[in-house]
Structure 1
């Protein structure tokens, strides 16, 4: 079987929780890095900060860091910080930090590099945001 390759660059930070990549997508200043840092504090591992390369292989989507930011995260008020990281993780979930947060959201997806990815809008600076992401991951196959 031939491996089908495709790639995109997304304005999103990415962390892996139990090996599953979570994309934190949003405009500059929305709290992508802050939320990633709080998830890392809870046991997640950095994949990339601010921008994430997405690569499709066959029917799976993988997140990788752009070469220029591998292993670094910007911590506002501190600067660029070296951080343990993964070079790649399979994408499981996209968190939309720009979207309207619904009280009882319906299942949605966002098409990335030709793959439909579960997507949920969350407020990134809420104290419970990292816990909500962990709960969402538990609902996915």
Structure 2
């Protein structure tokens, strides 16, 4: 409500016509909420949306807000779901690659350990044959 009072006035302190109408509508909305519920449960954002209406892009009369995702002001649900599925697929592919690399690493470690054991046995046989 303070925003409307601060930004919808002329320099002499009087409301411009549109600002006065919106301010009165804003006041009536809050009074109606208090009469119906005994308390004002309406959030400021909801009140602004009801009084000023939806405007794609930045929220009307609220200054710069979050930039718009696309031209329509919203990303379509189907588009978001497709993007989520693609990201899940990428995640699954990366997880499979990680699992493959872990298995490959374990296999190479096992081969290295077996090679080391064979070399130790060969060294032992040579040492035994030399009598050391």
Give the TM-score normalised by structure 1: 0.22
The structure where strand makes up a greater share of residues is 1
Give the TM-score normalised by structure 2: 0.23
The structure where helix makes up a greater share of residues is 2
